[in-house]
Amino acid sequence: MYRAPLRELRFVLEELLGVGQLAACPGLADYSDELGASILEQAGRFAEAVLEPLNRAGDRDGARWSPEGVRAAAGFKEAYRRYTEGGWPQLGADPRFGGQRVPQPVSSAMQEIIASANLAFKLCPMLTHGAVHALEICGSEAQRRLFLPRMVSGEWTGTMVLTEPQAGSDLAQVRARALPEADRYRLFGQKIFITWGDHDLTDNTIHMVLARIEGAPPGTKGISLFIVPKVLVNADGSLGERNEVRCVSIEHKLGIHASPTCVMEFGREKGAIGYLVGEPNRGLEYMFVMMNTARLAVGVEGYAVGERAFQQAAEYARSRLQGRAPGRQGPGPDPIIGHPDVRRMLLTMKSCTEASRALALYAGLQLDLGAHHPDPAVRASAQARGDLLIPIVKGWCSETGNETAAIGVQVHGGMGFIEETGAAQFVRDVRITTIYEGTTGIQSNDLIGRKLARDRGAAMSALLTDMRRELQALEGADPAAADSRECALQAVGHLQAATRSLLAGLAANPAQGLAVAVPYLKLCGLTAGGWLLAKSAALAAAGLAGSDRQFYRAKIHTAHFYARQVLPCVSGLAQVVEAGAASVLQTDPELL
C-alpha cells in the first residue's frame, strides 16, 4: 500500500531548499510553506485513495484499441474526472488561463506522488502540462485564448508528437508534410510512440506536431510546429467537426500497459488541419520548451517509481520470516529486514531515492529563480544552472529509479519475480523512463556537447564552487553529519578533476567526450546527490532535540550510508571519464 512521503517532501522543500523564499519573487508572491503542505496532503489523499488502487488492474487489463478509438483501462475515466474536479491540471499554469502558479519544486513533488501511485495515469496530464507550457511561451495570443483555458482545466488533453518510424530520435529525418491553405495547413504523415495519443478520457486532444512545410530546407532547420486538434475547435471554443487524425494501433509494451502508446495517422485523404505555432522552421526550438519540461518530469517519474518499490520492499522485509538474524538468540525465523544484506539493499533504495528527489527539486528551484527572481544576474546564473541540471536529473534519476526497482525484486527473492507481488510491475513500468524524451546517452551528449562545451564549463564550475563552499561551511557541525560531509567533499574533488579532463578531451577530439559521456553524467548525479544529502544530515543533526527526532535520525543514517556505500562509486567513474575513452574509440565495430 502506497503512502505519500509527506514528511520527507516537506523536509526537502522547506528545510533543505527553502522554497518559501520564492514568495519574494514576482509571480509567486501568493506562495507559502503552508500552501505547499496543503497541496501535498491533498495530492497524497487523492493518490492513495483513487490512483493507487487502479495501478495493478490497469497493468493487467491495459488500454484497448478499436477502429472507433482507444478506450482507457477500467476506472481511469472516472479517476481523470476526479483529477480535473480537484483542480490538479491547473497547478503551475498561467493564472490568465485558469491556472495556479506555484513553485516548480512543489509541482514536481505533486507529480512524484501521482507517479508513485500510478505512473500510467500520470503520463497523460504530464504531457498536457508540457503542451500548455509550450503554448504559453510560443503560441500566438489567439491560440492561447482558444486552446489554453480548456487544456489548463483538463477538459482537453495535449500530446507531444515527434517520432516517426524512420526517424526515431534523429528528428532531422522527419518527413511529415504540411501544405499551406489560407491561414492554416493540411498535414500528412504517420507518427509513432505517441503517449496517450488517443483515449476516451476527454472529448478533445490537442496534438503538438512536428512537420515540414512544403519547400522547407532539409534537416532540423526545416521543421515547424503545429497545433493539430483531434476535433476542430470553432472560434467560440465549441467543438466542430472531427479532424483527419486517428490512432491506427497501440503498441504492446513491456510496461505502463494502461498508458496507450499510439501510432497516429495524420491526413489519410484531405489532410489533417493544423495551425502553425510561431514562425516557420523554428519548430524544434519551440518543441524543446515542451521537451525540457518533460525531461524534468520524467526524471521525477524515475525516482517516484523507485520510492514506491522501496515502500513495498520494506513492508515485505518486515513481514517475511526467513532464517535467523545474526547474533539473535531464540527460536523461530526472523523478519528478513534483520539480515544485514537486506538492510543494505533497503538503504541503497532509500538513500538513492532521497538523493534523486533532492536533486530534482533543487533543479526545479533553479528554474524558478531563473524565471522569477527580480535580480537579472541571479536569473541568469540560476537559469544556466537549471539548464545544466536538466539532463542530469532526467538521466541519473531515471537510471537510479531502474536500479532501485530492480533491487526491490531482489529483496522479495523469488516472490519478486512473480507478478502477484507487484514488485515486477515497478521494474517494467520504470524501464521506459531511461528512454522517454531521449535516452540516457542522448541526455549525456546534451550535457557535455551543449551544456558543458557551450560555456567551457562555466556553469559546472560555479556549481562545483558552491558545492565545495557549502560543504566546507558545515565544518564543526554535529559529528553525526561530519562523515557525510567529508565523503561529499572528496566526491566534489573527483568530479572537478574529471570535468577538467573531459573539457580537455572535448577540445582535442569531441569523440573522446562522447565515449565517456554516460559515466560523466552518472558521476555528476552521484556527487550532487551526496552534496545534498550531506546538507540534509547537517540540518537533521540540528533537529535531533525536537519532537521529530526519529525522522531526523533516519535522515542522518541514510546520508551516512550513501556516503560510505554509494559515493565510493564516484572514484571509479572519475577514472573512466579521465582514461576510458580510448578503450571505446580504439575498438573496431567489426570486433563487436
Q: In angstroms, what CA-CA distances link 292 with 56, 109, 436?
A: 30, 17, 12
With CA atoms as reference, report the closest residue to 471 among 485, 484, 452.
Answer: 485
Cβ contact 255:305 at 8 Å: no
CB atoms within 10 A of CB 30: 11
Contacts of 116 (CB under 8 A, 6+ apart): 2, 4, 47, 304, 305, 307, 308
437 is known as an active-site residue: yes
Please give the grid coordinates belonging to residue 106: 512543489
Q: In angstroms, what CA-CA distances link 437 with 141, 144, 551, 589?
A: 28, 25, 35, 27
Q: Determine the Cα–Cα distance for residues 7 and 57; give it in Å rounded to an integer.
A: 29
DSSP lists the bridge partners of residue 188 as 177
Q: What is the β-pairing status of strands 157-161 and 205-213?
A: parallel
Max Cα distance, the chain (Å):
85
**Candidate list 52, 437, 486, 578, residue with the active-site label:** 437
The residue count for the chain = 592
Q: What is the β-pairing status of strands 205-213 and 177-181?
A: parallel
Q: What is the β-pairing status of strands 261-266 and 184-195?
A: antiparallel
Cβ contact 176:187 at 8 Å: yes
Please give the grid coordinates belonging to residue 525: 548525479
Kind plus residue range of the DSSP H or E element containing 483 = helix 479-508
Half-sphere exposure of 160 (CA within 13 A, CB side): 27
Q: C-alpha angle 23/524/301, rounded to 5°?
A: 60
Cβ contact 318:337 at 8 Å: yes
Q: Which residues are catalytic?
A: 437
